Amino acid sequence: MESDRFVSLDIESPIWERVFVVAPLVVVGTKEGEEYNLAPKHMAMPLGWENYFGFICTPAHGTYHNAKRYGNFTVSYPWPDKITVASLTASPRKEGSGKEQPIMDQLPTTPATIVDGIFLSDAYLMLECELDRVVDGFGEQSLIVGRIIAFHVHEDALRTSDREDQRLIYDAPHLAYLHPGRYATIRETQAFPFPAHFKS
């Protein structure tokens, strides 16, 4: 690098703990036997412009095996003021059971409409997904890809022709996760300065 203000890190070790990176924070729901499981994920996003959604998981987690076994999952985008509720979905499972999350009985949930699953109730966007594929091999992690078959959005967060985008986001702010270990509420936004005649 030309600037002496850059530090080149050793890439033999993971680098993502050394900087903050902005990501969404979602809660993924899966069926687990006779119960359901909720887990927070931040490496998660739409895949392309069609109705696909993906998140990174690991075979060491129940979410990975649940999605493969039952062939579906849900995604909840929590409201920023419900960060504590979203955080509780990371609570440990009951010792020795390998499955049950004791906190599940205390979390506000809503049943999905098509897939056999639940949402975190305190969310502004809810997706129901059929498993499309699992791509292993990103180190110890895998990409779980779903096709969205149902899409539910709170009316306060819905873009419409009579609502100005900046005001909409101010009134219905979004939750962002800054890995590692921080979060932010996105309320103040600006229109992106696309070049003239730009087409996506």
pLDDT of residue 90: 86
Contact between residue 186 and residue 172 where contact means Cβ atoms under 8 Å apart: no
pLDDT of residue 97: 47
Taken in order of first residue, the domains within the chain and their CATH numbers are 21-186 (2.30.110.10)
pTM: 0.91
Contact between residue 41 and residue 28 where contact means Cβ atoms under 8 Å apart: yes
Mean pLDDT of the region 168-188: 96
DSSP secondary-structure letter at 190? -
pLDDT of residue 81: 95
List, for residues 122-158, the tens digit of each pLDDT value.
999 999 999 999 999 999 999 999 999 999 999 999 9
Tell me the three state secondary structure of residue 160: coil
pLDDT of residue 1: 56
pLDDT at 190 over 60: yes
CB contact set of 116 (below 8 Å; sequence gap of 6+)? 31, 70, 72
- Spatial separation of the C-alpha atoms in residues 75 and 110, rounded to whole Å: 12
Identify the sign of the CA torsion 44, 47, 52, 56. negative
Q: Name residue, tokens 């895949």.
A: 47
DSSP secondary-structure letter at 58? -
What dihedral angle (degrees, nearest 10) is formed by the CA atoms of 115, 119, 121, 122? Answer: -140
List, for residues 61-96, the tens digit of each pLDDT value.
999 999 999 999 999 999 999 999 999 888 876 554
Quick one: pLDDT band at residue 180, thresholds 50, 70, 90?
A: very high
Which range is least confidently modeled, 2-11, 50-59, 94-103? 94-103
pLDDT of residue 149: 98
The CA distances from residue 182 to 32, 50, 71, 141, 164, in Å, are 29, 30, 32, 22, 29
List, for residues 21-53, the tens digit of each pLDDT value.
999 999 999 999 999 999 999 999 999 999 999
Mean pLDDT of the region 11-21: 92
Q: Which amino acid is at 98?
A: G
- Spatial separation of the C-alpha atoms in residues 133 and 118, rounded to whole Å: 21
